[in-house]
Amino acid sequence: MSYLMYLRKSRADKEAEARGEGETLARHEQILSELAAKMDLPIGATYKEIVSGETISSRPKMQQLLIEVMQGHWEGVLVMEIERLARGDTKDQGTVAEAFKFSNTKIITPIKTYDPLNEYDEEYFEFNLFMSRREYKTINRRIQRGRIAAFNDGWYIAGTAPYGYKKVKHKGDKGYTLDIVKEESYIVQMIYDLYTQGELQDDGSYMRYGSYQIRDRLNSLHIPSKSGSTWSASTILDVLRNPVYAGYQRWSWRKVQKNLVGDRIIESRPKNDDCPKVKGRFEAIITEEQFNLAQKIRESKPTPVHSTNALQNPLSGLVYCQKCGTMMTRQPSNTKEHYPVLRCPNSKCDNISAPLYLIEQKIIEGLADWSDEYELEWPEEMQDSTELSVSAYQNSVDSMQGKLNTITKQLNSAYDLLEQGIYTLNVFQERRSVLEIQKKEAETELQQLQAELMTHQARVKAKMEFLPTVRHIVDTYWSTDDVYVKNTMLKEVLEKIDYIKTERNKKGFGSAANFSVHFYPRVPKY
């Protein structure tokens, strides 16, 4: 059997890279490759963990490694240090230890080879994992204390700057602060002005805008959001509730909460507007007074917004007959029915109509259930997809693209050396053959990394934008009677809805929702 090489960056590695000490994984791969050659160990595969994560559940390559180890696929695993395998909680460490012991898979490091069936090696292995975990917790506590101290001193400690700002290193100090991006700050001011003051109308009055109308205004002006895409209503609300624009920063605004659902621990990050806040060492874009006014408006009954008298169906353009594919239409109430119904206009179709309000209710209830089920169905690695993981994949794509460019240059140079008579034909052919193989391998790996990058980008968008938007709609849909707003809400998250009803309601059960609807959400594709 062959051996597996596992590579993963530690925090120290990332700090070293930031100091300009070179790419860590490449250096470690070279060291382990030389070790394998010296020990005459055939390498069957190399797994590079480029996603940052404390636990096994957030490291897809580690999950794959453990499955294959349990199945006895590998004679041994080469790794720089024991700590690279597991530095999470004791449960993760136990899982790793049991997997290697059960399958009698060796662990080879540059310092020592661990035989899991050797009692001394087993104890040494477990002790190293324990000390690694202890060191990890100590480092985390020290980092956390440092972050809290920096936060209380007004330094900006978040990973990325919000829209309207850029994160900068403060001259002569270790802390970070924020500088205003002028062209973006104007947009932030516009958002707050439209929300709190409104826009001047022809009759001299002011009409305040809601988050959906502000979204439409920005998108119609082709103003990109922070991610470079279009604005969403949930993104607008995040701007309106962020105290950074009034000169304050917040702590634990979206603190991780773990809940046991069945036999799985599901993590969530609910928003907490009551989190600690301190005055930041950066300039505000809006006044505290305007920010506080925005919070009062947001927490109160939704602001009246412009609507059109022409639109009377909140499901307009969304619901289709599942039998014949025709778009369903609203039929006003008549003497028989005291409420509008949704019906198929195809006279040859026998799909039965239903009260509009019942279909609305079922759609909103269905959206709530769908959002929960959709997240639960994600694979474990998707649960932890963040902007950080996207950045890591982007770095890998850039690195591989650089490697491919280098190989291409080397290949071109080989032709030049042949023409100059420095290379003989035999030497050239050998060199070209090697480089073309390397180029093909690099192209294949680049394609794989690009596909993984696109996957994670879509996952992040689904997690950070789409799901919050769906849940916001579920929470606020019934708080407005504006048909236009309701229709806009639903069209933001739904492509279409299929409707079918095959049996009429029995007498006395007219309010029973004995029909089916099927959703087609606008989920980001990957």
- DSSP labels, 102-152: HHT-EEE-SS-EE-TTSHHHHHHHHHHHHHHHHHHHHHHHHHHHHHHHHHH
Distance, in Å, from the CA atom of 310 to the CA atom of 483, rounded to the nearest integer, reads 10
pLDDT of 2-25, one tens digit each? 999 999 876 656 655 555 545 678
E runs forming strands in 201-262: 206-207, 248-250, 257-261
94 contact partners, CB below 8 Å, separation of at least 6: none
DSSP state at residue 327: B
Q: Which residues pair with 108 in a beta bridge?
A: 78, 113
Residue 136 near residue 129, CB atoms below 8 Å:
no
Return the half-sphere exposure (C-beta side, CA atoms, 13 A cut-off) of residue 267: 15
pLDDT of 131-172, one tens digit each? 666 666 665 676 667 667 776 777 887 768 889 998 888 776
pLDDT of 216-255, one tens digit each? 889 888 888 887 888 888 889 889 988 989 988 876 665 6
Q: Which residue has the tokens 């103003």?
A: 223
pLDDT of residue 122: 72
pLDDT of 189-212, one tens digit each? 999 999 998 887 777 777 888 888
Q: Which residues pair with 342 in a beta bridge?
A: 330, 354
Sign of CA dihedral 206, 212, 214, 218: negative
H or E segment and range at residue 7: strand 3-8
Strand duo 76-78 + 106-108: pairing: parallel
Strand duo 43-49 + 3-8: pairing: parallel
- The correct answer on CATH 3.90.1750.20 for the domain covering 165-299 is yes
Q: Looking at residues 267-280, what average pLDDT do you find?
A: 68
DSSP state at residue 277: E
Q: Which residue type occupies 390? A: V
- Tokens read off for 328: 């369903």
E runs forming strands in 159-282: 165-169, 176-180, 199-200, 206-207, 248-250, 257-261, 264-268, 277-279
Query: For the packed helices 233-241 and 211-220, what is the interaxial angle rounded to 10 degrees?
Result: 110
Give phi and psi for 391, each to the nearest 5: -60, -40
Return the half-sphere exposure (C-beta side, CA atoms, 13 A cut-off) of residue 147: 13
Q: Looking at residues 301-310, what average pLDDT do you find?
A: 46
Considering the chain, what is the average pLDDT of its residues? 78
Q: Which CATH number fits domain 3-150: 3.30.70.1150, 3.40.50.880, 1.10.10.1100, 3.40.50.1390?
A: 3.40.50.1390
Q: Quick one: which of 65, 92, 58 has its CA closest to 79?
A: 65
pLDDT of 36 higher than 90: yes
pLDDT of residue 264: 47
Q: Which residue has the tokens 């035989």?
A: 115
**What's the chain's Rg over C-alpha atoms?**
29
Distance, in Å, from the CA atom of 387 to the CA atom of 464, rounded to the nearest integer, reads 9
- Spans of all domains in the chain: 3-150, 165-299, 319-379+473-521, 382-470
pLDDT of 62-72, one tens digit each? 888 888 888 88
285 band by pLDDT with thresholds 50, 70 and 90: very high
Residue 188 near residue 163, CB atoms below 8 Å:
yes
Q: Write down the pTM of the prediction.
A: 0.41
Query: How is the chain split among helix, strand and coil, in percent rounded to 5?
Result: 50, 15, 35
